[in-house]
Structure 1
Amino acid sequence: MVYTISGVRFPHLASIKNSSLPSFNDDRRTNAVSFSLRKDTRSSSGKIFARKPSYDSESSSIATTASENLGSHQSDSSSAEPQETVSEVTQVHDDVDAHKAETEGQEQTSALSTSGGQSYKENIASMSESVEQKVVQRKIPPPGDGKKIYDIDPMLKSYDGHLDYRYGQYIKLRDEIDKNEGGLEAFSRGYEIFGFTRSDTGITYREWAPGAKAASLIGDFNNWNSKADVMTRNEYGVWEIFMPNDADGSPAIPHGSRVKIRMDTPSGIKDSIPAWIKYSVQAPGEIPYDGVYYDPAEEDKYVFKHPRPRKPTSLRIYESHVGMSSTEPMINTYANFRDDVLPRIKKLGYNAVQIMAIQEHSYYASFGYHVTNFFAPSSRFGTPDDLKSLIDKAHELGLVVLMDIVHSHASKNTLDGLNMFDGTDGQYFHSGERGYHWMWDSRLFNYGSWEVLRYLLSNARWWLEEYKFDGFRFDGVTSMMYTHHGLQVEFTGNYNEYFGYSTDVDAVVYLMLVNDMIHGLYPEGIVVGEDVSGMPAFCVPVEDGGVGFDYRLHMAVADKWIELLKKRDEDWQVGDIVFTLTNRRWGEKCVVYAESHDQALVGDKTIAFWLMDKDMYDFMAVDKQATPRVDRGIALHKMIRLITMGLGGEGYLNFMGNEFGHPEWIDFPRTDQHLPDGRVIPGNNGSYDKCRRRFDLGDAEYLRYHGLQEFDRAMQHLEEKYGFMTSEHQYISRKDEGDRVIVFEKGSLVFVFNFHWTNSYSDYRIGCSVPGKYKIVLDSDDSLFSGFTRLDDSAEFFTSDGKYDDRPCSLMVYAPCRTAVVYAAVDGDEDSSLVPISLVPDDV
């Protein structure tokens, strides 16, 4: 029997989910397929450098060894000593360079080379050639002095001890990487050395597993025989095997073969998916995933056809999950998303798509955040080439593609993840309690480990290089930056909360490194960080002393809307709304959103559900009288989203389906869970019925959902035309608690929000800065948007001289209750009325 999953064909093997692990030399055989085993003529092609292992992961930290400096704001960064293993490796490199001439032409015992007499820097170049990857050598600019942050935020001067120490650690790490690895550009190409690499003569497989006592490569290609392809180990814990081509020139491991590494470890014999695997699949009836050697023939590899779009001035992000993007109860595919969802995103007016759950994760319901295989795109949705085709199509449509990357934690799975990979607790993660996130039930990386840095930096670069992603949304950054992970801690804005013993400097320095690498190699790259703490200088360039992100997620806004939606309309304060939306650090850009993807999960509530509750199911037909709850919900849904976009940041994000008030929760397929105490948590019979997006509801013109979708579309195109999110001119002229009215200017636009539940205002005077004629360019009360059409959108408005609300002129408008209206200054006969809707044709 042969199964085919996502284009990979492999023979069926007996399930091992209930069996104990075999002994190290046992074969994993099946009667379904027979193999003729080749004579074991393979040998190691040399040795490769890796940082010497330290089984006390706490002591291997590069940055936290000088803990006194972290607690003292006025410490002298020059007193911090580099971590011991860094000095040790530096000495190793010095010794090798000194004796290189003497050993040229001889087999090397130094771990700094893969072939005789080469320095590590030269080795990087030769390895690149061996895998036939023509890498254009790009240089990452050297660090600056890191002092500009004190000019940007003078309050930081009181914490220069911590900040100078942090930047000093960053400089030292950059210097060590330059000295020992040939620079950050070379260091971030670990995927050309580790994992599987292909040359003209064969395949080399390398794995860093310092805790293992023996290792062999097993898989379909050798009938899972652990005696056939035994690996050799160097002094740095790197295991290696070279597998020459077969006599006919074909590779020793056929494309699509399942592979694992079997190791004799301190925890016993275990089979693991290679840490650098590029693809993995779950066979039918089996629980653990298998790694897949993915190396299609040249003629079958996807070739990108379209260049990356230019970096948008303002980001309008459509957050997506490929698997649940179908209207049908199924796991959707990369191909279907490419053909069906990307044109929809373009038509709606977004200029960026952010894709969740790309990195392989064995637990579907984790939303993609419990990653098991960091270099592998999820096989649930298709093949790596399918994903490349998706990204290429997005680029053709002018959409930048951001990946929701997870470097904040990892799945605790031991069979198909990194946890206990070499049988030790602290290989990739902190050992003991520090390496475990009790709320997420996952493992935490040790960012002070040299090889962890190589792994994560290379991982970020891999997705940019191989798949042409345009940037990242880094998940869980707050958890990374603090040893308390932001749990049971309330950030008040006091700077003592950011710079002290609870700051994980190793993690912050890693974030500085990865941002420097991304922006150095890809100046147009976009990096967004999920930080709820408000860390100062988070979005300041690394060379100036910042962490280096382009945007932070403005996470307080969604929480504020939930807080308000629990109250009566009479208890809303418009000044509080404005303060929350505009309360962000000067000069640091934000991506704002009205609601998070987590609110769409079963048990939580989206804004639409908070507003309309069960009435959403029975009173959304346009030919049926709506209830007061639905009328209120539709009106406020539009107002909340527009004011969030208007005042909340330089970027805007929407999770798919929320643009039209998706009425269903996301409920991942699950079975009953039997707890040790006898209790049973009921499942949903493994159903996908609520794990999808009902785009058909937003498209149905006979439903009020369509009006919400059209308003979101108009909102995006309005921003496309006027660029109001990034306009240099912003002035909030009115926050009237009595009238419940908010008025503000963005560029040449004037936004008027009337949050009053009953009061409409005729001849309502609003201030403005540009004299002349104004027209309505967006009206939330338009019938197209399921409104009541109380305004004449063809009307013209003319300003009057004289200061009003501290503006040089003013105009009179009609402000119906629960409406948002945008006015634009126009010249002469310029027609701007509802232009945004017609900016793109119905069929993209």
Structure 2
Amino acid sequence: MALVPAVATDEGYGVPDYRIRTEYEDGSIVVSDDSYRYLPTIGEMDMYLFGEGRHERLWDALGAHVLRYDDPMGSSEGVKDEQVVGTAFTVWAPNAHAVRVVGDFNGWNGRAHAMRELGSSGIWELFIPGISAGEIYKYEILNANNEWTMKADPMERSHEIPPRTGSIVVESNHEWNDADWLAERAAKDPHNGPVSIYEVNASSWRKDVNDYRELADKLVPYVQKEGFTHVEFMPLAEHPFSGSWGYQVTGYYAIDSRLGGPDDFKYLVEKLHEAGIGVIMDWVPAHFPKDAFALGRFDGTPLYEDPDPTRGEHPDWGTYVFNFGRREVRNFLVANACFWLDEFHIDALRVDAVSSMLYLDYSREAGQWHPNIYGGRENLEAIDFLKEANATAYKNNPGIMMIAEESTAYPGVTAPTDAGGLGFGLKWNMGWMHDTLQYLHEEPINRKWHHNEITFSMVYAYSEHYVLPISHDEVVYGKGSVFGKMPGNDWQKYAGVRALFAYQWAHPGKNLTFMGNEIAQYGEWDHDGSIDWDALEWPDHQGVQKLVADLNELYKTSPALWSQDFDPAGFQWLTSDDADHNTLSFVRIGKDGEQMVAVVNFSGEAWSDYQVPLTKGGKWTEVLTTDDEIYGGSGIHNGTVEAVEGEYHSRDWSAKITVPALGAVFLKPEL
């Protein structure tokens, strides 16, 4: 073996351009490039920012990146004046004794590709010529316990389809064409606009969909037809166990490979944007699984996970909890939020299991946790992390939303960070979901005794900025479908589903429903199956689907229903105490004075000559009723009614209408 020695230049001793020529005993000769003639690809500023926990584009510094160098000496085959193509590998493993890159390119023997440690940064790096996109690789680590282990790249951009566990080198070729969408998004405050969300599990929406591009072809026109403003995908970061629905993530920077690669998902996002539909993705920074190939004990120590056993493991889920107090770990997660928003043009992140991060005693008994430095139960490091993640995401991506799934009454979830809040834009209203479904589960004849359950949400409706969800969690594991939750015969069940949608869309707050709800499918969600699309062969299911589309259209074109969602001035009760009739009536008011009255009858009987208090005189027109025959209803209509002067329920005007059984009526005043 021979190589060219270092040479002196005017600037001093430099790294020469050389090749290694190896002659074997059989006489064969191999000329190869040498990884060690290439300088580190990560800069001093990158390492400094990472060490400080402030690298907002960490994915540009760590991970595997295809690079090209001008090569005046030629390629390893001796061809002159061609570029060297290779991949720079960079990984953080501060307690490792040695790190190697292994893959098919070296027969999974890392002796030829030992990585270099950069000072005290804990970062290891190596540029390997000849490796391009599509190569499978791992890191072979001599960990703190002097054990050789194989680990996937924490910053991998793609992953083998499980159960295989290798990382894949990626080079994106997607050219974005949604600049107009992003500019329009940045010019608006989405929290104060119409938000109607269709929650989707990408792998079980349709089983005849094989990848993200096929999903785009089928999902985009469907969502557009149904009129939703946003699609929310359950987690699509890489996860080894499909039964976790994506909530146990191993590859935080890798798109789920079961449906394709990063560019395939970018195609799906772009097609949704072209159709005027925003994209929300579930994000899971609360915990990660213990799979040996992934983040757990990455360099033989609790590197990403909290080393304190009372804080570092989640007792319910059997997973590790991140060390939110470590700068580099916090940086890994904050940058990850920015990664999905920046690289994939995601419009909002819904942050999963926020409550589990907020409290040290979450799912722990006495003696299994210890208080914070002030003697409280709050996880101060996790709270600081959430504030930083939200503030950084909003700063770097104008027009996005950060949404919390938070199930307690923790104060200020959607308050600004400079006012002591967590800085989320929206919060799932779990209390509304629970109370509403509990109320609707009762037989109509018994609902009068539970009337406070359907009205209680307005007591706290303005304590946070809420999304009203009927989510995947409510239609799985024996809980039954939304249709199945309704009491009565089939007609009453369909009517009950229609009344629920109308009530939800009229109530203050943004709206979310899970796939399959919009067609009132019989069975609950099965992640190994698909939505029961065959149900649409029946008119009643078609009717519910048609109602959802019409509700979305009415909602989007009626500022009264969304422009003051978070202002008490946007809602007034007309009758909240009519428990005997199981009926509610209220008016929604837009910021420019627009009005929409909703009357919802949760009883099993229609009420004729039902007197509704109104806010002003003149004519009021029925703009939608869930009892329309086109939706599968009985066909009760009110047309236009005249408000009569005279005090009723503290209002100066009222009108008598017919309210259908298990139905809702929307009335709009004529100008």
For normalisation by structure 1, the TM-score amounts to 0.68
Tell me if 1:576 matches 2:452: yes
- Which string of whole-angstrom CA distances, capped at 9 and with x for unpartnered residues, describes residues 272-298 of structure 1? 111101000137xxx3421000125xx
Is 1:233 matched up with 2:117?
yes
Segments of structure 2 that go 5 or more residues without pairing to the other structure are 1-28, 70-85, 590-594
1:729 to 555, 570, 580: 570
CA 1:753–1:39 in structure 2 vs 1: closer, same or farther (change >3 Å)? Answer: closer
What is the alpha-carbon distance in structure 2 between the residues aligned to residue 36 and residue 372 of structure 1? Answer: 39
Matches within 5 A, 1:550-629: 550-573=425-448, 575-584=451-460, 586=462, 588-593=464-469, 595-611=470-486, 629=489
- Supply the AA of the counterpart residue of 1:218: V
Q: Of 629, 635, 639, which aligns to 1:783?
A: 629
Aligned-pair distance for 1:636?
A: 1.3
Residue of structure 1 equivalent to 2:359: 482
1:221 to 105, 112, 128: 105
The match for 1:337 is 215
Offset of residue 484 of structure 1: 2.0
* 2:492 paired with 1:632: yes
The match for 1:293 is 169
Q: Secondary structure at the match of 1:483?
A: coil
Distance 1:789 1:414 in 2: 61
Aligned letter for 1:730? F
Structure 1, 423-432 or 473-482: larger mean CA deviation: 423-432
> Does 2:422 correspond to 1:538?
no
Quote the Cα distance in structure 2 between the aligned partners of 1:254 and 1:457.
28
The answer to whether the Cα contact below 8 Å between 1:430 and 1:445 also exists between their aligned partners in 2 is no
The 1:561–1:607 alpha-carbon spacing in structure 2 relative to 1, beyond 3 Å, is farther
2:641 aligns with one of 789, 797, 805 = 797
Give the aligned CA root-mean-square deviation in angstroms.
2.6
Contact 1:40 1:228 in 2 (8 A): no
Task: Provide the C-alpha distance between the structure 2 equivalents of 1:822 and 1:37, rounded to a whole number of angstroms.
Answer: 78
Partner residue, 1:45 = 39
1:726 aligns to what SS in structure 2? coil
**Does the CA contact (< 8 Å) of 1:334 and 1:381 recur in 2?**
yes
Paired position in structure 1 for 2:61? 193
1:716 equivalent in structure 2:
552
Distance 1:529 1:487, change over 3 A: farther
Equivalent-residue separation in structure 1 for 2:460 and 2:211 (angstroms): 38
Partner of 1:161: none
Following superposition, the deviation at residue 464 of structure 1 comes to: 1.1
Q: 1:354 aligns with which of 222, 227, 232?
A: 232
Paired letter, 1:693: I
Does the Cα contact within 8 Å between 1:37 and 1:228 map onto a contact in 2?
no
Q: How many aligned residue pairs are there?
A: 602
Letter in 1 for 2:539: L
Instruction: Tell me which residue corresponds to 1:52.
Output: none
Shift of 1:695: 3.2
SS of alignment partner, residue 295 of structure 2: coil
Shift in Å, 1:426: 4.2
Task: Note the C-alpha offset of 1:712.
Answer: 1.3
Q: Aligned partners of 1:216, 1:814: CA distance in 2, in Å?
A: 75
Secondary structure at 2:112's aligned position in 1? coil
Aligned to 2:619: 773
In the alignment, which residue of structure 1 is the partner of 2:202?
A: 322
| 1:464 and 2:332 are equivalent in the alignment | no
8 Å Cα contact 1:581-1:644 kept in structure 2:
no
Alignment CA distance shift 1:36-1:335 (3 Å): farther
State the AA in 1 paired with 2:455.
F
Task: Give the alignment of 1:699-714 within 5 angstroms.
Answer: 700=537, 702-714=538-550
Counterparts of 1:106-255 in structure 2, within 5 Å, are 114=44, 120=45, 184=54, 187-201=55-69, 202-236=86-120, 238-243=122-127, 245=129, 252-255=130-133
Given the alignment, which residue of 561, 583, 599 partners 1:741?
583
Q: CA deviation at 1:584?
A: 2.7
Structure 1 counterpart of 2:73: none
- Give the superposition deviation at 1:47: 9.3
Counterpart pick for 2:327 among 450, 473, 476: 450
Q: CA deviation at 1:529?
A: 0.3
- Contact (CA 8 Å) 1:420, 1:427: kept in 2 or not? yes
CA distance in 1, matches of 2:365, 2:647: 49
Compared with structure 1, are the counterparts of its residues 264 and 513 closer, same or farther at alpha carbon in structure 2 (3 Å cutoff)? same
**Counterpart check, 1:374 vs 2:252:** yes
1:168 is matched with none
The structural deviation recorded for 1:219 is 1.0
2: CA distance between counterparts of 1:488 and 1:803? 56
CA drift of 1:46 comes to 4.8
Q: Which has the higher contact order (CA 8 A, sep 6+)?
A: 1
Taking the aligned partners of 1:355 and 1:392, their CA distance within structure 2 comes to 15
- Name the structure where strand makes up a greater proportion of residues: 2
Structure 2 residue 176 is the aligned partner of structure 1 residue 303:
yes
- The corresponding residue for 1:501 is 376
- If the length of structure 2 is used for normalisation, what is the TM-score? 0.84
Residues 737-787 of structure 1 deviation map (CA, whole Å, 9 limit, x = unaligned): 1222211001211111122223x3222211111321111111111111111
Matched, 1:406 2:284: yes
Q: 2:151 matched to 1:272?
A: yes
**Separation in 1, partners of 2:479, 2:633:** 27
For 1:344 and 1:487, how far apart are their aligned partners in 2?
44
Q: Aligned-pair distance for 1:487?
A: 6.3
Counterpart contact for 1:608–1:661, Cα < 8 Å: yes
Aligned equivalent of 1:757: 604
What letter is aligned with 1:736?
D
- Which of 806, 810, 831 in structure 1 is aligned with 2:650? 806
Deviation for aligned residue 1:198: 4.2
State percent identity of aligned pairs. 24
Q: Aligned match of 2:670 in 810, 826, 832?
A: 826
After superposition, what is the alpha-carbon deviation per residue over 1:105-148, rounded to whole angstroms, capped at 9, x for unaligned? Answer: xxxxxxxx54xxxxx27x88xxxxxxxxxxxxxxxxxxxxxxxx
SS in 2 for 1:811: strand
Give, as a single letter, the amino acid of the residue that structure 2 aligns with 1:510.
F
Aligned to 2:531: 693
How far 1:643 sits from its partner (Å)? 1.4
1:753 aligned partner, one-letter code: V
What CA deviation, in whole Å up to 9, does each residue of 1:176-222 have, x standing for no partner?
Answer: x79x75x95xx211112111234443532211112211110011222
Q: How far off is 1:431 after superposition? A: 4.2
Partners of 2:131 and 2:643 in 1: CA distance: 76
Tell me the CA shift for residue 235 of structure 1: 4.3
**Alignment check: 8 A CA contact 2:65 2:169 kept:** no
How much has 1:796 moved relative to structure 2? 1.4
Indicate conservation of the 8 Å contact 1:730/1:746, yes or no: yes
What stretches of structure 1 of length at least 5 have no aligned partner? 1-34, 49-112, 115-119, 125-176, 246-251, 490-495, 613-627, 669-687, 828-844
8 Å CA contact retained: 2:176, 2:270: no
Name the SS of the counterpart of 1:228 in structure 2: helix
- 2: CA distance, partners of 1:814 / 1:592: 28
Alignment correspondent of 1:422:
299
Quick check: 2:598–2:664 contact (8 Å CA) kept in 1? yes
